[in-house]
Structure 1
């Protein structure tokens, strides 16, 4: 199995809305993969397609080398899934829901589930309807992990968990990746993603803006602060191969978010007419996310090979000047 999840031009259209628009994914085993996006970006739709609960309008995908459209049940046996608002049978007790779910899996499910529940200190004789939001989340996590799935899909998994349990849970995700399992994580908690993810994707209006190792993404993004003499001056875009993601103007100060910026390019920009000085700094994952999802962002969808649309940046001639 070369990839745990692969998708090609995955598209999902609803009436008056394109939830997904040509999404390509390739996620190898043994990684914590995180997908970031605002509400309505298409994250939950993507998860529903991967788990066989939604048939895409077009495109293909495979999960654990299975087709979720034709082999939905087989996919679900290989996957653990925790939605952002787990639906549990309120009339059942904590122990009963484990016993009930164990009937769909092998012999080791129930003992593992009980170990998880004991770890979270939730009494097995307590009814689901009497649990707090955090306790319900722990039960859902225990059910998803008890059969040791090849792929664990989590949609806002730490919602309702206290800080200590959240930290322990996130560390366990890293342990699963080290053991060769794969974690697909959808979260609004960007600081958590930054701590545990190996690879990150940013989904915006149904399009994948980037998908690459998190360290590589952070290394490739630079914020430029340019002070100019005249607020009406027009600056050229950064020289190739750098590309402009977005730009803002505040009087005599310009801020550019640039991908692929090299230190020597600062001197080229500083030499432009009317430029007083240029300052650069690396960006956090949260700042990168905001830049990619900012309205008016110029960068269209990047491929897994880290390609970006051409024509955004000016080229340099043989003498190193802006063309």
Structure 2
């Protein structure tokens, strides 16, 4: 099937800041796709381009087959969007804001919205300004999905919420993906992402440095710990992509993607190597390696060379 989101060579520059530096990304349908990155990595800038609130300086972005510049209004009609600080009319009640919003969508919106509000146990008669942050987040989510969008975009939606509300958000994402719809989740809550995501993309300084199915990341990435005879001894790098390496005394730690048993056997047999241990890294380990690490060839590579593009299946 066609990609739900297609981004090719997208760049965005602000005064004194290259927010996006040639982003390439394809998001397949029916998945929870997590976009990870530190603050300032470019996640929100990319989302604002996808929703048409910003225009890219170069490149092309399409959502549901529509151009994000010329068809931005139609995109906003067809997607759902929840930010970390949703703008709601504080003087309205949840019931009233659902009635008001239903005027912009086809028949059936209000009934589905009211069903969701009851499911989320939001007090319908209380003014929004008197609701808790978690209750306001539930109202925003209900408004975003009541028109049954093919794509739901969530930009740090669980920031500051209590664990119970976060769990409800996560469960709703999985439920939507199970029905064939797509969720794009921008977050820095790595433990939550690891529980629900099918695909993961990691951004660093305006570039996608890794974008793959989470299961593939776990299958192809290893943490390699090398014990050395001497802290100054040089050892051969294992084949594959060394995402991060660090020495501490007589120990060398690496996070390596795409290496093989033969390469590790060569490393174990190298002069000066006492012992080589391998472990399966957590998503947090991979995230830290991608955002803080530097491969041995980093000085010869540009950010564009490092970018890994996710191909829709």
TM-score normalised over the length of structure 2: 0.93
Alignment root-mean-square deviation, CA: 1.6
8 Å Cα contact 2:244-2:293 kept in structure 1: no
Residue of structure 2 equivalent to 1:47: 47
Structure 1 residue runs of 4 or more that deviate by more than 3 Å after TM superposition: 295-299
Q: Secondary structure at the match of 1:166?
A: helix
What displacement does 1:159 show?
A: 2.7
- Which of 254, 261, 264 matches 2:262? 264
Residue in structure 2 matched with residue 315 of structure 1 by the alignment? none
Indicate conservation of the 8 Å contact 1:137/1:160, yes or no: no
| Cα separation, partners in 2 of 1:79 and 1:97, compared to 1, 3 Å | same
1:206 aligned residue: 206
* 1:295 Cα offset (Å): 5.0
Q: Residues 228-266 of structure 1: CA distance to partner in whole angstroms, max 9, x if unpaired?
A: 11111112211x3x1222210111111111111212322
Q: Per-residue deviation at 1:212? A: 0.8
1:255 aligns with 2:261: no
Q: 1:203 touches 1:209 (CA, 8 Å); kept in 2?
A: yes
Report the secondary structure of 1:264's partner residue. Answer: helix
C-alpha contact (below 8 Å) 1:221/1:259 kept by paired residues: yes
What is residue 320 of structure 1 aligned with on the other side? none
Gaps of 5+ in 2: none
**Mean CA deviation greater in 113-122 or 140-149:** 113-122
Q: Distance in 1 between matches of 2:293 and 2:221?
A: 18
SS at match of 1:232: coil
Offset of residue 202 of structure 1: 0.2
More helix by share: 2
Give me the whole-angstrom Cα distance separating, in 1, the residues matched to 2:191 and 2:278. Answer: 23
Equivalence for 2:18: 18
Does the 8 Å CA contact 1:134/1:159 hold for their aligned counterparts?
no
Q: For residues 295 and 221 of structure 1, do their structure 2 counterparts lie closer, same or farther at Cα, with a shift above 3 Å needed?
A: closer
Is structure 2 residue 287 aligned with structure 1 residue 281? no
Aligned to 2:307: 301
Contact 1:199/1:211 (<8 A) preserved = yes
**Residue 27 of structure 2 aligns with which residue?**
27
| Greater relative contact order (CA < 8 Å, ≥ 6 in sequence) | 2
Q: Distance in 2 between matches of 1:118 and 1:175?
A: 17
Q: Tell me, yes or no, if the aligned pair for 2:202 and 2:210 is still in contact at 8 Å.
A: yes
CA gap of 1:151–1:227, structure 2 versus 1, over 3 A, is: same
- Give, in whole Å, the separation in 2 of the partners of 1:165 and 1:84: 13
Task: Quote the residue 1:179 is aligned against.
Answer: 179
State the secondary structure of the residue aligned to 1:218. helix
Q: Write the distance in 1 (CA, Å) between the matches of 2:288 and 2:158.
A: 22
